A and B are shown apart, each in its own frame.
Chain A
Amino acid sequence: MTGKLESGRKVVEGSYAVAHAAAMCRPDVISAYPITPQTHIVEDLSQFVADGAIDSKYVNVESEFSALSALVGSSAAGARTYSATTSQGLALMHEVLFNAAGMRLPIVMTIVNRSMSAPINIWNDHQDSMAQRDTGWIQLYIEDAQELVDTTVQAYMIGEDPDVSLPVMVCMDGFILSHVFEPVDLLDQEAVDKFLPRFTPVRALDPKNPESFGMFVDPEYYMEFRYLVEQAMDASRPKIEDAARKFKSAFGRYYGGLIDTYETDGAEIILVAMGSLIGTLRDVVDDLRSKGVPVGLLKIRAFRPFPIDEIKKVIADAKVVVVLDKNISLGTGEGAVTTEIKAGLHNTDINVPVLGFVVGIGGRDIPVTTVQRIVEKAKDVARGGTVSAGASEFVDVKHDLISC
């Protein structure tokens, strides 16, 4: 049936690209609640279902809480499942996110990253998904529409691996990726069928052999189940790398595994970021390298599990690490990526200064000139300048708007 959707290179909206990719994975059940800027994805998918282009069951619900709950039940019954949400919708799923991970259900969900209220704002930053970083979901952050398509397929392969059996968030920047038209290679159904095996759950609900899923567990056993989730996260590391490599051999495209690097050989200054900002940073690196500035780029593709070993290898010989966070962990004065890299370097023999910068909050533009200014500060530290031990800098904050 899915043959009705055209494949091949087309200029499409990022939202259509991800809807198409999700469709090619043949989800048995889709459930979602529309919310800007995720809406086009679920509209496209419901159109595919209405047109009979895909066989998925589309469950209409009254909230995001119900959308994810419907998928918890479906996934427990052995269905391949898909949803998409953002911001307040993801926050409303918070309780169910823990359940999906704790019940070890490999749901795949696209997060169209958007800021959190208040104040209400529909534009992009990473606060929504970063706030869910402890729920037990694998989190992959995406640079462009093609990576989004290809990673959606990889997400099922990773999450459904029996050694992992965890849900996966594929995080894309709202508007910047969801509403932009780009040339994209839309995947062919036969090729995806060949690449992605059918979902075989570790255990599934079965009326012939009734069992209870999501049991009450007392203190004698609870900690062990949480430990198992952490072990599964750890087991996902090589699976994320494998999925990326297998995808490369099947489709010829590769975006890194847990991380990717760009011009990091001999780099004294290494920029670290996630998501669509990577595109801007590649241009900045190209420009600075052409002027002889030894700057490189580390793209964090998997934020969960956090790839600290891979990061350490890349930054070990650098003079300064610059982290650009599109989120802030309020009360720590810095973004979570900065905090986690610092924590990962503590008690090791790597002693590289880590400079944190909070950027692009609520859709604030991050122009090349802003990044260049940040690199100037990093150069000073690389030359032996002092590093403030304090909080990250809020980049491009308009102090004239703040009365105090």
Chain B
Amino acid sequence: MIPHAPIGEAGTTIANKTGSWRIFIPVYHAELCNGCGTCETFCPEGIVHKREGGDTFTADYDYCKGCGICARECPKGAIEMILEEK
């Protein structure tokens, strides 16, 4: 039986790992990163975050769709978009 409206389990956005949609992968070069956080601000998925115990940034590749906005916006050119071989 379906409910009266499309209502279901919570947390499906976590379960649905959209990283598999990616064609280009952003590679975050920590040595060039100044920790400004522009990439985190601009990420439309909210999946860019600081590396554990550090001041530089990286993406959560389980969910990064490879849109490339972070790379376009990074003022230090520290993010490189590379064709991802699968």
A: which residues have CB within 8 A of B?
102-104, 165, 202-203, 210-217, 221, 224-225, 228, 232
Contact = CB atoms under 8 A, between A and B. Distances in A.
Interface in B1-23: 2-12
A228 B6 CA distance: 11
A202 B10 contact: no
Interface in B66-81: none
B4 A212 contact: no
16 contacts: A102-B6, A103-B5, A103-B6, A165-B5, A202-B4, A203-B4, A203-B7, A211-B9, A212-B10, A212-B12, A213-B5, A213-B7, A224-B2, A225-B6, A228-B2, A228-B5
A211 B6 contact: no
Contacts of B4: 104, 165, 202-203, 228, 232
Contacts of A202: 4-5
A203 B6 contact: no
A104 B8 CA distance: 14
Interface of B: 2-12
A203 B11 contact: no
A265 B84 CA distance: 76
B5 A212 contact: no
Contacts of A211: 7-10
A212 B2 contact: no
Nearest to B8: A215
A215 B7 contact: yes
Which 9 interchain pairs have the tightest Cβ spacing? A210-B10, A104-B5, A215-B6, A215-B8, A103-B5, A212-B8, A212-B10, A217-B6, A213-B7
Contacts of A232: 4
A114 B4 CA distance: 33
A219 to B, nearest CB: 14
A253 to B, nearest CB: 32
Contacts of B8: 211-212, 215
A210 B10 CA distance: 6
Nearest to A202: B4
Contacts of B7: 203, 211-213, 215
Nearest to A203: B7
A210 B11 contact: yes
A225 B2 CA distance: 8
Contacts of A103: 5-6
B20 to A, nearest CB: 16
A203 B9 CA distance: 13
Contacts of B11: 210, 212
B14 to A, nearest CB: 11
A128 to B, nearest CB: 26
A367 B64 CA distance: 63
A214 B6 contact: yes
Contacts of A221: 2
Contacts of B3: 203
A215 B10 contact: no
B13 to A, nearest CB: 8
B2 A215 contact: no
A202 B5 CA distance: 9
A214 B5 CA distance: 8
A225 B5 contact: yes
A203 B5 contact: yes
A20 B65 CA distance: 49
A210 B9 CA distance: 7
B9 to A, nearest CB: 7
Nearest to B16: A216
A238 to B, nearest CB: 18
A26 B44 CA distance: 37
Nearest to A163: B4
Max chain A Cβ within 10 angstroms of own Cβ: one of B7, B8, B9, B10: B7
A214 B9 CA distance: 11
